[in-house]
Every structure is written in structure tokens, then in C-alpha cells.
Amino acid sequence: MLLLFIVGLLVHFVFFASIFDIYFTSPLVHGMTPQSTPLPPPARRLMLIVADGLRADALYELDENGDSRAPFIRNIIMHEGSWGVSHTRVPTESRPGHVALIAGFYEDVSAVAKGWKENPVEFDSLINESKYTWSWGSPDILSMFAKAAGKHVYTYSYDANDEDFGAQDVTKLDTWVFDNIKEFFHAARKNQSLFSQLNEEKIVFFLHLLGIDTNGHAHRPSSREYKENVKLVDEGIKELASLLKEFYGNDEKTAFILTSDHGMTDWGFHGTGHPSETYTPFVTWGAGIKYPQKVSAQQFDDALLKECKLEDWKRRDINQADIAPLMASLIGVPFPLNSVGILPVDYLNNTDVFKAESMFTNAVQILEQFKVKMTQKKEVTLSFLFTPFKLLSDSKHLNLLRKARSYIKQNKFEEAVSLCQELIQLALQGLSYYHTYDRFFLGFNVVLGFVGWASYASLHIIKSHSSLTRSVSKVKKPSGLLPCSFVAIGILIAIFLLIQSCPWTYYVYCLLPVPIWYAVLREYQVIQGLVTSLLTFPPRHFAGYLLVYTLGIEVLVLSFFYRYMLTAGLVVLAVWPFTTQLWTRAKGISLSWIFFCLLLAVFPLMPVVGRKPDIFLVMGAGLLVLLLSLFVITSLIKRKESFVNEELVLNLLQMLSTVLSMFAVYSTHNSLLKKQGLPLINQIISWVILASSFVVPLLSPTVLFERLVSILLSSMSTYLLLSRGYKQFFKTLFSVASFK
């Protein structure tokens, strides 16, 4: 049994690791040639302002008095620049958002292993390609791009300990950025070397403003602190724009971009795909940017235009990754090599030939990635097994490039732009095709191994806990042909992988099913007994059970998309006793089962997450856990004649753990409301409870019921620490129903 457990643990670890090789591999490739627009750029410098955690509606909407909380930005929208919504992608986190903005590609999903804090693979970005970049803000974000760039990048950041989520109003983080950049430009007047660098072309100023995000987490986006922080950012940008105009003598060679890496839900979180997280503001003005355009009708049907009173000013939405090629085009640097963004030409205020040439450069840059990806996959795949991407063959992409170049020479710029956009879409499809090329192959092998392991585990249980094999006549053991066949299969698979220069993990996923299925086929007597038993089972009953199991699995699958399917399943479980003899034999247990199932059926219909924590519900759930603990202890004392003091002390300790959890939750809630941060004693209590919840159950008696009770009570206190509303009630009621 111990050997089976160890092998099972190892097999499941391999299955878990396979997820990263199948779905979480880096999309980045290297070896491309940099591509830049040959014509002079409209701007000499770019200022990128990223207001972390700023929702689109929070910037654009009017307050209760009908006034804008960002009057400078609103004036830009109406008189100087262009605006729209930048659509982000999941995960809506800071690292993926900034990578999309500055490098032009969406999250390298393999970075999930690093908590989305840095990219595990080197990548090119606008900052790499710039002549000089100066950046101010959070050390987490700035260091990520400075690490990937060279010595031409200068960073100025505050201490990471200043990023306090609740101790006080954190607008000081943004004030620090604005104050330091002002001091920087004032100092540059007295520093000839710095002054010369600042007057170079192809330079970038990057401002990362973390205050809005931190205030949103601590106080919610609807709070006064969040809205005041938006106003502070608007005032800071106004002063900054005036400062740059004065410093550069109003040369009109500065382009400004204001956006955000992600939004935030009403309850102060981000990471998923809710519109409040994926809709971020995008406002740009200055050199090379189109002026405002009045329109009588818009192409967008969301409520943002009417709520913000901006329906008369043309809104131009873009994808977040499209910002990188736009910035590269504005200052004339090569497009980031790994960018998959499509240049939004509608934002450009420049000649038609510049737009066409920029779009052509964008198409060649993305096509370079496609060609490298295809070559890499072709080199490690046997020629007779390689299936190329048929929609974009070598001849087709060459013809499209020639045709686009011909259109530019003939001054058919709109046709050239349209053709380049078509080529980009095909190249992006091809990139996705080659990136997921091995997904089916790996998935098939992992599924084969998983099904084999599930089969072996099932056969082992049947062999150990049933009498099926007794009725089977003893069959002579097979010859050595079976192990020899599996050894031969393993060798052939290894040779196949070796020829294709596959990573070592591929060997694990492809070879693991071989010994697993060998172990399955060795249990031929159990398989024979199981088949014999199934053949004697009435066909009608067999079909009925199969239908019930299939429907149950389908309900579970659909519940991932529609929570109310769990309600339907629990209602069906509630009426289950009526279909058996349990109703006539134990009506009390049946009634309690029905009662708890119907109670549980209510929870999937409730909101997933509350907009704000309900501390009274959490405290009520804690009291319910205490009452349940008292009931269980009393029952154990009555059931056992010799209830030793050690067991009583253990149960009392678990009750004390629940009380401490309630104290920690209540105290933390009040402390955050008073903006006093998280008390140290609460942190200590929480970590002690979490650690003890794994240890205390091991000290309980090994009797099944008592061990389960101990595990339940220990997990309850930990779960209570994580509760913000009704969820603890679900856990408690579910546990009671399970015991029933």
C-alpha cells in the first residue's frame, strides 16, 4: 500500500507538471531581424504614463455634480488628442499588463510559476529599443524592464515597504513620482551631460503610478480615496505636460500616452476577465497623434459613452498590445521583436505614406516571428509528419508582401494598409498554430497515462476489497511475450522522440503510460472477473446506472460555466432517498439529508463574491462552528465510555482555534476600516492556525469518525480566516450533510 501511494503521488505529480508543458509554454521566439519604419518619425520623445489599476469609467465619468474628476484629461479628449478604451486580457495583473503595453505581446503564461512578477524568458521591448529611457515608480515594475534592457535605462523608485495596502492614504506613491520627475528636469538644466541626453531623439519617459491600484485594493474603487487619487493624477499630468513644454521650448515633438495595465472590480480585486478589469482608459495627444473628431454616431453599444457624456467625441478602442507598435511608430524605433500588436493607424496624424510604411513594417515584424516559429518546429519534426500552416505558405506571404509594396509605390495607401492587416492576421494565426503544434500529441499521451492509472487503481481496489476474482478460473500466466512487447514499445517511443530532439519532459509523458498499462494488463484475472460480473448484470440496470453517472458528470462540467447547475444537482440528490429503501428504514436520517441538500442548493444561486465583506455573517458562521464543535464533543463523550483527557484537551484546543480565528477576522476588519494596517498579532495568530490545522488532526484517535471530526474542526478555523461572507456557512452545512 505504501509503494502504491508513493507511485500514485509520483504519477500525479507528472500529470500536474504536464499542464505547464501543454498549456503554459512561452510563446516567445528569438532570432528575428529588427524592423523599423524608414520615414522620419513625428515625435522625438514619448511620455508613457501608466496609472496602475485605473478603470476606464473612473477616469472618464462625471461626478455627482456633473463635473469631471480629471478635467485636464477631459480637455485633452475634447481639444487636443484622441481617446478610447484599451482592452486587456486575462490575467489582469501588473506584470502581464505592462509587458503587453511596452513589449507588445500578451502574457507569457509560463510566468505563472513566478507569480506574474517577472518574465522567465528574455524579451524585446520599446525600452530596449529606445536611445534612452528614464522611469519612475514601483521597484517591482521598473526593475523588470531595466533587467531586460541595457545601461541606457535609468530607474528611480521608492522603497518597496512604502507600498502599504491600508495603513494610510497612499497617494504619496504618486506624489513621489511627480515630485521626483520635476526635480529631475530642474536638475537637468544645470547638468550639461544630462541636458544633452534629454535633447536626443528616440527617448522615453515612463511613469508608473501605483497609488490608484493600492487605494483601490485598500478602500475599493468607489471610495473617496480612489477618486481623489484619480484627481491627483490628473493634476500631476497637467503640471508635467506644462513642465515638458517649457523645458523643450514648445517644440511640439513630445507624444503623451496615458493608460492603465488593468482595471479593478467594485470590491477591489483584479486578475480575471470582468469588464471592470479589462476596460482601461487610453488617452493620447501630442506629436503624431490625431486631433479630436466630432461624430454624430459611435460604433460602440456599451453604456460608457452616455454615462461619461462623451458620445460626441470619436472613441477609438484598441487592444492593449497595439500600444507598443503605436509608440514605436511615434518615435521611430524598431517595433519590439516579440510584439503581436497591430498598429492602430487611426490614431496617427501623419501622411498616408507614413501610415502605409508603418503598417508594412508591422506586418514584416510579425511575419518574422511566424517564419522563425515555423522553422524551429520544422527542424524538430520528421519531414513526413510535419504539417505546415496551409493558410500562409511561403509563396503566399511573399506575394502579399510584393503586392503591398506595389500598392505603396502606386500611392494606393489604403489598399496597402488593408493588405498588411490581412497578412498580420494570417501570421498571428500561424504563430498560434505552431505554438500549439504539440498540444494534441502531449495531451493524448497524458490522457492515456491518466486513464491507465485510474484503471490500475480501480483494479487494485476491486482485487483487494471484492470477491470477483474468486469466481474466475485460474488461468495460466502469460509468457514473457507481454513484458517484451511493452519493452519494445518503450524503445520505439524513445527512438521516435530522440530523432525529433524532443525535451526530456516529453520522454516522461510518452513513456509513463507504458509501465502503467503493463501493470493494468497484468491484472488480467481481475479484468476477467469484472467483465464476467458486468455480463451477468441486467442490461436495463446497467444502462440506468450508466445514464445516471453520465448525467452527474455532465452536471459537474456544466457547473463550471453555469453555477445554477449545482443547484439542480443538489435538488436531485435531495429526492434520492425516495428512490431507495432508506426512506422507509430511516426516515429521520432521510429528512435531515433532504433538509441539508435543499439548504446547500441555495448557495450556488448567491453572488460569487460580495462587493464588500459582511463581518456579521462571518461571525455568525464562527458561532455555528462553535455550536457544532460542542455538539460533536458531547456526542463523543456519550458514545465513548473512556473519553480520555487528552482527547478532550485536543477538541477544546480546536474550539479555541475557532475563537482566535473569529478574533483575527473581526480585529483585522476594524483595523483596515480605521486605516491602521494589519496588526502583527493577527498575522501571528493566522499563521499559527494555518500551521496547526495540518498537525492537530494527526494527534487525534485513529478511529475513522473521530479523525474526520478532528480534520473538519481544524479546517473550519482556517477556512474562517479566508471568509468574507456566507461561504463559511456553506462549508459547515456541507460538512454536516457529508456526515449524514
Residues 116 and 243 in one domain: yes
pLDDT (average), residues 113-121: 60
In single-letter form, the type of residue at position 613 comes to P
Same domain? For 335 and 454 the reply is no
If asked whether residues 526 and 619 sit together in one domain, one would say no
pLDDT of 70 strictly over 60: yes
Q: What is the pLDDT of residues 165-181, one digit of tens each?
A: 555 668 999 999 999 99
User: What pLDDT digit, counting tens, does each position of 498-543 carry?
Assistant: 998 888 999 999 999 999 999 999 888 888 888 888 778 788 888 8
Q: What angle do CA 733, 734, 740 make, to 5 degrees?
A: 90
> Grid coordinates representing 552?
452527474
Q: Does residue 687 belong to any structural domain of this protein? A: yes
- Mean pLDDT (whole number) for 683-705: 85
pLDDT of residue 709: 78
Q: What angle, 0 to 180 degrees and rounded to 10, lies between the N-to-C axes of helices 323-331 and 94-103? A: 40
Domain boundary among 286, 315, 350: 350
Among 313, 335, 350, residue at a domain's last position: 350
Residue 23 counted as domain residue: no
154 has pLDDT over 90: yes
Tell whether 425 is covered by a domain.
no
**Which band of pLDDT confidence, cut at 50, 70 and 90, is reported for residue 670?**
confident
- How confident is the model at residue 253, as a pLDDT? 97
Tell whether the model's pLDDT for residue 32 goes beyond 90: yes
Verify that 110 and 233 share a domain, yes or no: yes
Pull the grid cell for residue 605. Answer: 444561486
Most confident of 334-338, 474-478, 733-737: 334-338
Burial of 667 (0-12, 13-18, 19+ CB in 10 A): middle
With 60 as the cut, is the pLDDT of residue 127 above it? yes
The per-residue pLDDT for range 354-370, each reduced to its tens digit, is 999 999 999 999 999 99
Read off the CATH number of the domain in which 242 is found: 3.40.720.10
Q: How far is it, in rounded angstroms, from Cα 739 to Cα 717?
A: 18
Does one domain contain both 731 and 696? yes
Confidence of residue 109 (pLDDT cuts 50, 70, 90): low
- Residues 303-316, mean pLDDT to the nearest whole number: 91
The last residue of a domain, from among 482, 507, 536: 536
Q: What pLDDT is recorded for position 115?
A: 56
279 vs 682, residue with greater confidence: 279
Segments in 286-390 forming alpha helices (H): 304-307, 323-331, 352-379
| Residue 377 resides in a domain | no
Alpha carbon distance 630, 625 (integer Å)? 9
DSSP string, 175-231: HHHHHHHHHHHHHHTT-HHHHHHHTSSSEEEEEEE-HHHHHHHHH-TTSHHHHHHHH
Task: Please tell me the distance from the alpha carbon of residue 400 to that of residue 420, in angstroms, as a whole number.
Answer: 8
* Pairing label, strands 203-209, 254-259: unpaired
Domain hosting residue 273, numbered range: 42-350
Question: Alpha-carbon distance 140 to 144, whole Å?
Answer: 7
Query: 734: closest CA among 600, 565, 636?
Result: 600
What length does the chain have? 740
Sign of the four-CA dihedral 109, 114, 116, 119: negative
Contact 292, 82 (CB under 8 A): yes
Gap between the Cα atoms of 687 and 351, Å rounded: 62
**Claim to verify: residue 75 and residue 3 sit in the same structural domain:** no
Predicted TM-score (pTM) of the model is 0.82
102 and 213 housed in the same domain: yes
pLDDT in tens, 558-570: 988 888 898 988 8
Structural domain contains residue 280: yes
DSSP, res 25: -
Residues 124 and 266 grouped into a single domain:
yes
Tell whether 7 and 95 lie within a shared domain. Answer: no
What's the mean pLDDT in 213-227? 90
| Domain contains 397 | no
Query: To which residue does cell 455634480 refer?
Result: 65
**Dihedral of alpha carbons 397, 402, 408, 411, sign:** negative
- For the stretch 443-461, pLDDT in tens is 999 999 999 999 999 888 8
How far, in Å, are 337, 652, 690, 692 from residue 657 at the CA level?
Answer: 55, 9, 10, 9
Q: What is the structure's pLDDT at 144?
A: 81
Q: How far apart are CA 593 and CA 579, in angstroms?
A: 14
Q: Is the pLDDT of residue 104 over 80?
A: yes
Contact criterion met (CB below 8 Å) for 70 and 304 = no
In terms of phi and psi (left: phi > 0; alpha: psi -120 to 50; beta: otherwise), the region of 249 is left
Number of domains comprising the chain:
3
Grade residue 340 by pLDDT with cuts at 50, 70 and 90. very high
Residue 317: name the closest of 330, 301, 332 by CA.
301
Confidence of residue 326 (pLDDT cuts 50, 70, 90): very high
Residue 574's pLDDT is 87
Residue 210, domain member (yes or no): yes
**What's the pLDDT score for residue 163?**
72
Query: What's the mean per-residue pLDDT of the chain?
Result: 88
pLDDT band at 350 (very low <50, low <70, confident <90, very high): very high
**Burial class for 144, CB neighbours closer than 10 Å (0-12, 13-18, 19+):** buried
Structure-derived torsion over alpha carbons of residues 124, 130, 131, 132, reported in degrees to the nearest 10:
-100
Q: Report yes or no on 561 lying in a domain.
A: no
Same domain, 335 and 199: yes
Q: What pLDDT was estimated at residue 523?
A: 86
Q: What is the pLDDT of residue 204?
A: 97
- Are 4 and 55 found together in one domain? no
| Pair (304, 192) in one structural domain | yes
